[in-house]
């Protein structure tokens, strides 16, 4: 597929101009209109550079995905906090390359890099699901990685929390690429702190509840972050909604703790009986039963390992990739999203990048759904509380 594949000339011209803007220009107007300034005639699929000189120039953003910058979707890297506050993007991607808290196969520290590298469509991609080019409507940057060092669990969580705080305080919605699932504790805590006094609900797609008290005595494992979030008061148990649980963990006493604390859990068996759309409709209502805004946490192991093998704790019998992508569109289309993470991609176990691509598309579905809301003039994508 060509890099600049707009369906018609005018949209494609916008693609070229937004590409130039994402490199260095001003943010789009709030109504989504683009700057009319163009440095050269637009090169599009309908207006290809046939017969032009071989040195015709493309913006970095519009060059093929495998050429040049390795940020998420080749977006501008904006790692400096001050620059972030000055630009005030709508969304900032954050890498959390941390896997010192895993209980089984390690390797999710390489997840952020693999998810960024799963960028396959350069330029201004067009969601066929929602009929929208998300970067025409949202200013999105890649804020880089939290400065993790190995074998230091406390530092890892501290620098992830600080990085997410910095992004959320700038007014941008943080979308965090894990990393093992323990990173949801610092990440969602930081978002809850910035959103206060508004309360957050959490929708959590996962094979596992991650609500253990400890893993072999460790409180900050990737099996425990959801209990820490609830105990710390970042989210009420009754607004912590899990979708897709299946397999053989945790033990009955952990399930009993979840029930005592009011968590609402939608098992894969319920999804099989009722269908994903009906279950996700209930999950949204339960998460917003009190809170106004939603943090979304996606563990890639909720997808069946036949479709997403690249993860540390695979659990056969999971969702289809397309069910998860549709569910993310459904959630983000219905709520005010204030933060998100996609975790547990461990590329060493992946095949043909299929797991990394699924995680990448989870982010793209969320961005596309936010963009579609902005186009409708509905709920603003930018969090309003500050
Ligand atoms: Mn998990």
Q: Each residue of 319-346: pLDDT tens digit?
A: 999 999 999 999 999 999 999 999 999 9
- Which tokens go with 66? 């495998």
Task: For residue 53, give the 3-state DSSP assignment.
Answer: coil
Residue 216 lies in a domain: yes
225 Cα to the center of ligand 1, angstroms: 9
Same domain, 4 and 90: no
Q: Identify whether residues 55 and 163 lie together within a single domain.
A: no
Pair 250, 331 in one domain: yes
**Statement to judge: residues 195 and 73 lie in one domain:** yes
What is the 17 CA–ligand 1 centroid distance (Å)?
40
pLDDT at 380: 55
Note the pLDDT of residue 26: 40
At residue 144, φ and ψ (nearest 5 deg) are: 80, -170
Please report whether residue 104 resides in a domain.
yes
**Residue 117 falls within a domain, yes or no?**
yes
Last residue of a domain, one of 24, 43, 63: 63
Q: Are residues 101 and 24 in the same domain?
A: no
250 and 209 in contact (C-beta within 8 Å)? yes
CA of 210 to the centre of ligand 1 (A): 6
Domain assignment of residue 54, given as a range: 1-63
Centroid of ligand 1 to alpha carbon of 386 (angstroms): 30
130 and 73 fall within a common domain: yes
Three-class SS state of 64: coil
Return the CATH number at 132: 3.40.800.10
Domain final position from 40, 63, 86:
63
Of 44 and 264, the one with more pLDDT: 264
Place of tokens 């979308």: 175
DSSP secondary structure code for residue 45 in this structure? S
176 pLDDT exceeds 50?
Answer: yes
Q: Rounded to whole angstroms, how far apart are CA atoms 97 and 180?
A: 8
338, containing H or E segment: strand 337-343
Ligand 1: centre distance to CA 208 (Å)? 6
Q: How far is the centre of ligand 1, averaged over its atoms, from the C-alpha of 35 (Å)?
A: 42
Distance 205 CA to ligand 1 centre (A): 8
**180 in Cβ contact with 98 (< 8 Å):** yes
Centroid of ligand 1 to alpha carbon of 82 (angstroms): 33
* Distance set, CA 251 to CA 213, 247, 301 (Å): 11, 11, 19
Look over the chain and give the mean of its residue pLDDT values, rounded to a whole number. 89
Residue 100 CA, ligand 1 centroid: distance in Å: 14
Model pLDDT for residues 190-243, shown as the tens digit of each residue: 999 999 999 999 999 999 999 999 999 999 999 999 999 999 999 999 999 999
- Alpha carbon distance 38, 19 (integer Å): 10
User: Bigger pLDDT: 197 or 30?
Assistant: 197
Of 63, 93, 112, the residue that ends a domain is 63
Q: Can you give the C-alpha Rg of the chain in angstroms? A: 20
Kindly tell me if the per-residue pLDDT of 137 is higher than 70. yes
| pLDDT reported for residue 259 | 98
pTM assigned to the model: 0.89
Is 383 among the domain residues? Answer: no
312 Cα: distance to centroid of ligand 1 (angstroms): 10
Amino acid 381: pLDDT: 56
Distance 197 CA to ligand 1 centre (A): 27
Same domain, 54 and 86: no
Ligand 1 centre and the CA of 370: distance in Å? 24
Expressed in angstroms and rounded, the spacing between residue 114 Cα and the centre of ligand 1 is 18
Do 78 and 38 share a structural domain?
Answer: no
CA of 223 to the centre of ligand 1 (A): 7
Cα 219 to ligand 1 centre (Å)? 15
Interatomic CA distance for residues 39 and 20, integer angstroms: 9
Residues in the chain: 386
Work out how many domains the chain is built from and give that number. 2
Q: Is the residue at 385 inside a domain?
A: no
Give a yes or no: residue 287 inside a domain.
Answer: yes
**In whole angstroms, what is the distance from residue 226 CA to residue 305 CA?**
23
307 and 186 inside one domain = yes
Domain contains 382: no
């Amino acid at each position: 597929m060509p890099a600049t594949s707009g369906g018609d000339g005018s949209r494609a011209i916008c693609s070229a101009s937004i590409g130039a803007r994402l490199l260095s220009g001003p943010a789009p107007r709030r109504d989504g209109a683009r700057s009319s300034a163009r440095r050269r005639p637009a090169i599009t699929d309908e207006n290809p550079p046939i017969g032009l000189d071989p040195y015709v120039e493309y913006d970095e953003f519009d060059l093929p995905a495998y050429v040049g910058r390795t940020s998420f979707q080749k977006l501008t890297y904006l790692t400096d906090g001050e620059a972030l506050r000055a630009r005030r993007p709508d969304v900032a991607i954050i890498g959390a390359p941390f896997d010192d808290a895993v209980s089984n196969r390690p390797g999710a520290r390489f997840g952020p890099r693999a998810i960024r590298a799963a960028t396959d469509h350069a330029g201004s991609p067009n969601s066929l699901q929602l009929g929208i080019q998300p970067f025409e409507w949202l200013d999105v940057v890649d804020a880089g990685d939290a400065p993790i060092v190995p074998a230091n669990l406390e530092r890892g969580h501290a620098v992830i929390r600080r990085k997410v705080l910095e992004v959320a305080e700038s007014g941008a919605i943080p979308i965090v690429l894990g990393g093992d699932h323990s990173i949801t504790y610092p990440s969602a805590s930081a978002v809850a702190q910035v959103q206060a006094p508004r309360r957050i609900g959490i929708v959590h797609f996962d094979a596992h509840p991650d609500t253990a008290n400890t893993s072999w005595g460790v409180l900050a494992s990737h099996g425990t972050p959801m209990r820490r979030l609830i105990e710390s008061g970042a989210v009420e148990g009754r607004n912590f909604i899990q979708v897709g649980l299946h397999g053989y963990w945790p033990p009955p006493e952990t399930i009993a703790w979840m029930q005592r604390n009011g968590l609402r859990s939608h098992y894969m068996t319920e999804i099989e009986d009722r269908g994903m759309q009906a279950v996700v409709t209930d999950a949204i209502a339960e998460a917003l039963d009190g809170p106004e805004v939603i943090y979304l946490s996606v563990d890639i192991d909720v997808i069946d390992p036949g479709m997403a093998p690249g993860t540390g704790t695979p659990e056969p019998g999971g969702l289809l990739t397309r069910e998860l992508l549709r569910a993310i569109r459904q959630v983000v289309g219905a709520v005010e999203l204030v933060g998100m993470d996609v975790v547990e991609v461990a590329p060493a176990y992946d095949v043909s990048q299929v797991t990394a691509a699924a995680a990448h598309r989870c982010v793209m579905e969320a961005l596309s759904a936010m963009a579609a809301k902005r186009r409708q003039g509905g709920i603003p994508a930018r969090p309003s509380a500050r």
